[in-house]
Chains A and B, each alone.
Chain A
């Protein structure tokens, strides 16, 4: 058997997060000798998924050694049951697969195309994301709308699924409808009409909607919601918003009527990282969990560089083993101050929350995920003022079809681009408001609540390249609610750099098993 220190590796990949795992997949037929390590004893890094027991261990591990992870301030609460024999309760540990990165993937994402072209999609299952809901306090504009769920406090309004929905809406007045239609026609090919938005490129998106399309302020919220922008409206620029709204609308119908995005079953992006690593292992990659790179005090790696025809690096693992490798890919180990931090929470509730999951369309798959957006200003803390400056809260609600909780329960993944106590308070408020706004019997009980802060990290790069210059400077975007294709672009860039001229086609592979194709095609 190969030994770690007695082998000359072509490439050492550090960390099994999504970008690293996709890189390993991309290199899985390259013939390169790859060692893929992770300091954690689980796969997925910031994209991992955990059982109840694992989430406890994760929290404990971070409390013991807070230095190395992008996560902090973790707390796990299980509300006391009045009578443990009565009423809803948590199931056994493995009935859960709670995702640290429950991203949705738009139908036209290059990620899906590459999962298909690399054939690993056969090991994955994808489920439809159904309705998008916007939380609204106003009793004014759309009162009595059939699309509104029962009003207690605020209400949830379903975001129309395109022009047809808007057209059939009974509530919007004619003028608003016309303005909205005009905007939706524009967004269909906004790239061709720079004259309409060029001047607004770096200006707030809401003012663009008002000035160019006369869209009433009451309709800004659903449009902003579709941007999935973590920022407050005033900081959501037009050039940020337009491609994201277009992405949403253009994806609808791609895989079936009425929905535009999907989630992987069994724990979010974790499942994709594992499938990618498995494919890499099948191709000869060696996997070792629980081993990290040894770093110096300032966080840089101990690198012993030997010049030769091709550079050879020697690095030490934390347990002292010496690794000889041609190249190293990983996350730069220290966080940068300018990288933003988010508060996130995972809440398991004792209800299927059916009203959030109306059927998408005839012949469409039943939805496993709903998205609820709490626009800036709709949540009020008793203590704080200036709510308009509070970023929106996004909640991705997964029902048990997603394979993350047992039947009869749901998992709510909430996030806000705000850190500290206030962030957690807003998340808590939003979950309460969401549950209150739904008319379900018996009323949902919170069975488990996990909250934590996550800091964005610089993304994966060649740690020791000939130029010694970071290949890119962008942040990892696992905090985005939707998968960002730029992650795949970074993977492709690194893959090209590693493969040089022999690169071939990125993530295009034949099935390994001849008999797979004859059955399935």
Chain B
């Protein structure tokens, strides 16, 4: 089952990533943008929960994200514990036009820090940046400048703007908790790929597992060594060596 040779010289690792956040903050839209480079306006709430994968190419390695989206079941808060179990990364999303969604995001961060794998990489993401910019649709009135992505421009108390969560507030919180922080727009695609690249870069080498089910490669650490490849079973039973 090994990756077939020469086309993939870079080591490839799977990373389990869980998406958390209040309903309707745009979790699924972020993933759709990342995976399919696609955006649907007025998307229906996700029915069920999605599982998607997408590769992220770094200079020295390839990270394959396995993305678990709890969308549609936030109210019951029962999928998340199962999703973040053994997850190496979490993307906690809030909506910059909705302060309560940041509160909820902070709640998720606290839960992850309490319950998830130690060393999990957490990114805090303020989505719907497009609604904050003057050209972003709903805001007829003028706002003097579109704030830069990384919160260069902290005075965004502009009432015409749909933004209700100042960048600096969220950024300060993220810094305090050592979270990666981005403001994104799933609609325009702004910063979406950057979030995933930043997460990929932040995953410590040591917590990376090789591609699943690969055996007999170089550089095997003890964990690799111990894994049993379930698809390697013999169709015919072993003829146990008869030594007689």
Contact = CB atoms under 8 A, between A and B. Distances in A.
B46 to A, nearest CB: 10
Contacts, number: 148
Contact of B240 (A162, A278, A401): A162
Contacts of A116: 230-231
A158 to B, nearest CB: 17
A254 B230 CA distance: 10
Interface string A250-268: 1011111000001000100
A14 B98 CA distance: 36
B104 to A, nearest CB: 15
A515 B229 CA distance: 20
Interface stretch (B76-84, B137-145, B172-180, B191-199): B76-84
A254 B231 contact: no
Interface string A124-149: 11111000000000000000000000
A509 to B, nearest CB: 12
A122 to B, nearest CB: 6
A162 B66 CA distance: 41
Contacts of A281: 48-49, 73, 79, 82
Nearest to B67: A513
Contact of A287 (B12, B82, B226, B241): B82
Interface residues of A, number: 63
Which of B118, B232, B237 lies at the interface centre, i.e. has the most chain A CB atoms within 10 A of its CB? Answer: B237
B78 A512 contact: no
B81 A282 contact: no
A516 B73 CA distance: 25
A266 B86 contact: yes
A520 B241 contact: no
B71 to A, nearest CB: 10
Interface string B233-244: 110011011111
A125 B227 contact: yes
Interface stretch (A69-77, A163-171, A193-201, A443-451): A163-171
Given A254-B233, A278-B68, A163 B240 contact: yes
Contacts of A290: 78
A250 B82 CA distance: 35
Contacts of B103: none
A255 B72 contact: no
B1 interface: yes
Interface of chain A: mostly helix, strand, loop or mixed: mixed
Nearest to A259: B228
Contact of A1 (B75, B86, B212, B216): B75
Contact of B244 (A107, A163, A274, A287): A163
Contacts of B45: 1
B211 interface: yes
A519 B115 CA distance: 32
A249 B237 CA distance: 10
Contact of A282 (B51, B212, B226, B243): B51
Given A181-B244, A519-B3, A365 B227 contact: yes
Interface of B: 1, 3, 12, 23, 45, 47-55, 64, 66, 68, 72-79, 81-83, 85-86, 115-118, 211-213, 216, 222-223, 225-234, 237-238, 240-244
The 6 closest A-B pairs by CB, nearest first: A253-B238, A284-B48, A167-B243, A289-B78, A281-B49, A126-B228
14 contacts: A94-B116, A94-B117, A115-B230, A116-B231, A127-B226, A162-B240, A185-B242, A254-B238, A282-B48, A282-B49, A365-B227, A513-B53, A516-B53, A520-B212
